[in-house]
Amino acid sequence: MKEKAILKTKTPADYIGYAFYAFGGLGMELLIMMVETNLYGQDPETWSAVKQVIHWITTCFLWGCFGAALVKRLPEIPNIRAKRNDLIAVIIIMSLSIIYTSFAWNGLKPLMELSHLGFGRFLVQYMYYGFESLLVLLIIAYGQEALEGWFGTIKFLPFGGIFLAGTWGLVHIFSQGISTGIFSVIQSLLFGSVYMILHKNFKISYIVIALMFMI
């Protein structure tokens, strides 16, 4: 009962802080890479398969720790079942995401990854995507609660997706180039829209967003 009472007193400032914690959790990968680069004395592009797998597993562990801690602080959301039109809208958004991703990758992403990585690394890479999807959704969920709290009269907007685009999306522009950054920004808005269409159902949103992320 005490935990529920604490959750009810959270402010938009608290929620935006949690959103930045989730974003910082994603950023821990850069710290891991710095340590690994100094340890291996190699550019990440030249790492062996074993070193790549070690990197992914280490990153997943840290992301899992951040995710587990932040999930416990999610606000209680009324359980509203998605209606037929909601599901149709989600399917359309998923289809657009897969088409856009396939265009960006010049082929279906899982098949391209599998042919490039081989089965073993492919499995670990997609586990990595699963943990990344969790933190991405946490950024959306907390960003949505924070911005709704500040701009409560327009709750229908995907504030969480906009916040994700302004953080995770923009970082990709500086770290991986304009084309990848634009792709990440658009995906952020699609992810945020899915979360709102599914009435902030965290579990179902995670499944849908993870599939969009992976396919």
Task: Please report which residue ranges of the chain form alpha helices under DSSP H.
Answer: 2-8, 12-40, 49-71, 84-105, 109-117, 119-150, 159-164, 170-176, 178-197, 202-214
Residue 171: closest CA among 210, 207, 132, 134: 132
Say if residues 169 and 185 touch (Cβ distance below 8 Å). Answer: yes
Q: Give CA angle at 203 (75, 155), nearest 5°.
A: 50
Mean pLDDT per segment of 10 residues, for the chain of length 215 residues?
52 95 95 90 84 96 97 90 94 96 94 94 97 98 93 80 94 86 94 96 97 96
Q: Indicate the DSSP class of residue 168.
A: I
pLDDT at 3: 46
pLDDT at 110: 96
